[in-house]
Amino acid sequence: MTKGQWYPGKMSRALNQLHQDLKAVDLAIELLDARIPFSSRNPRFESLLENKRHLVLLHKADSADAETTKRWLDYCQSFADKAMPFSVKDKKYLKKLMGYLNEQEKNLKPKKIKRPLRMIFVGIPNVGKSTLINLFVSKAVTKTGNQPGITKGRQWIRIMPGMELLDTPGILQPRMEENTINPLTVVGALPAGKIDQQESALWLIGSYLMQGKGNILKERYRLDSIDSSEPEELLEQIGLSQGCLHSAGKVDHKRAAGLILRDFQNGVLGRLTLEKPEDF
């Protein structure tokens, strides 16, 4: 994977559009992946924010380790106005989010002029922006149509009286650094095909082992034992047990790696947070 996917022209166009969109909102809701809050953050985003309110959602919290998510919330509160966990799999999160949005709407200034609270979801690819927009659209009162003079060609969705959401998300470039490629790959934020899936799958297996969660792999893939296993050895065993074989009967490591990453992304490998706030 090279930085070529985000060639400068495309990147600056996306950032310019986002900068424009941000001018039209009161609140930017940044989605981070609760399993990789560091790697799923784009530090350049904050420079575009200017004085807008900034809410961070540690999204897909259902897939992350709950204790670690709590510590990440403290970390996120050091750069955002507010941070909350979120998941579409449990309604309590939506209730809390709506509570926060209501508060923001009440505190809109100036108070005398009635206008809606406007907001936008932003985040890196695959973090869940469209899912959240759809969640709100399904509850929406009306689509409000273009509002001249605000953001050209953009639609606002009135999600309830006094609250409007921009119907297109702000897409942020993933942070491409040496220590972010594996985390971003395993959560599916980078296009498959351009990256070394095998290396990322080995890194993921190593993370399970290091966190004492190797049993999850053992059970899922019906392995005999994982005592003192190295990631390479486990990948081999998983390939064998799952029938990821070349015609000559040897394990197809690439295929086995793809299978593990898919299983992780589909949420069948339990909860696992891949980054700790103490490391950043």
Ligand X SMILES: Nc1nc2c(ncn2[C@@H]2O[C@H](COP(=O)(O)OP(=O)(O)OP(=O)(O)O)[C@@H](O)[C@H]2O)c(=O)[nH]1
Report in angstroms how near the CB of residue 119 gets to ligand X at its nearest: 16
Residue placing its CB nearer to ligand X in the complex, 65 or 105: 65
Residue placing its CB nearer to Mg ion in the complex, 130 or 179: 130
Tokens of 278: 């103490």
DSSP conformation letters of 83-119: EEE--TT-HHHHHHHHHHHHHHHHT-SSSSS---EEE
Q: What is the largest CA-CA distance in the chain?
A: 76
Strand partners, 117: 163
CA distance from start to end of the chain = 23
The residue from 11, 137, 171, 216 that contacts ligand X (CB under 6 A) is 171
The residue from 68, 69, 87, 237 that contacts ligand X (CB under 6 A) is 87
The residue from 20, 130, 134, 215 that contacts Mg ion (CB under 5 A) is 130
Report in angstroms how near the CB of residue 185 gets to ligand X at its nearest: 14
The residue from 37, 85, 116, 123 that contacts ligand X (CB under 6 A) is 123
Report in angstroms how near the CB of residue 128 gets to Mg ion at its nearest: 8
Report in angstroms how near the CB of residue 109 gets to ligand X at its nearest: 31
Residue placing its CB nearer to Mg ion in the complex, 36 or 238: 36
Q: To 5 degrees, how large is the angle CA 142–CA 19–CA 108?
A: 55
Under rule CB under 6 A, residue 62 binds ligand X: yes
Q: Are 209 and 218 in contact (CB under 8 A)?
A: no
Query: Which of Mg ion, ligand X, none has residue 207 at its interface (CB below 5 to 8 Å by kind)?
Result: none
**Neighbouring C-alpha atoms within 13 Å toward the C-beta of 205:** 28
Under rule CB under 6 A, residue 131 binds ligand X: yes
Strands 170-171 and 117-123: parallel
The residue from 35, 41, 54, 60 that contacts ligand X (CB under 6 A) is 60
Residue placing its CB nearer to Mg ion in the complex, 77 or 131: 131
Residue 34 burial (C-beta neighbours within 10 Å; 0-12, 13-18, 19+): buried
Under rule CB under 6 A, residue 37 binds ligand X: no
Under rule CB under 6 A, residue 49 binds ligand X: no
Under rule CB under 5 A, residue 131 binds Mg ion: no
* CA 156/CA 204 separation, integer angstroms: 40
The torsion defined by the Cα of 68, 74, 80 and 81, in degrees rounded to 10, comes to 130
Footprint on this chain of Mg ion (rule: CB under 5 A): 130
Return residues touching ligand X (CB under 6 A).
59-60, 62-63, 87-89, 123, 125-131, 171, 267
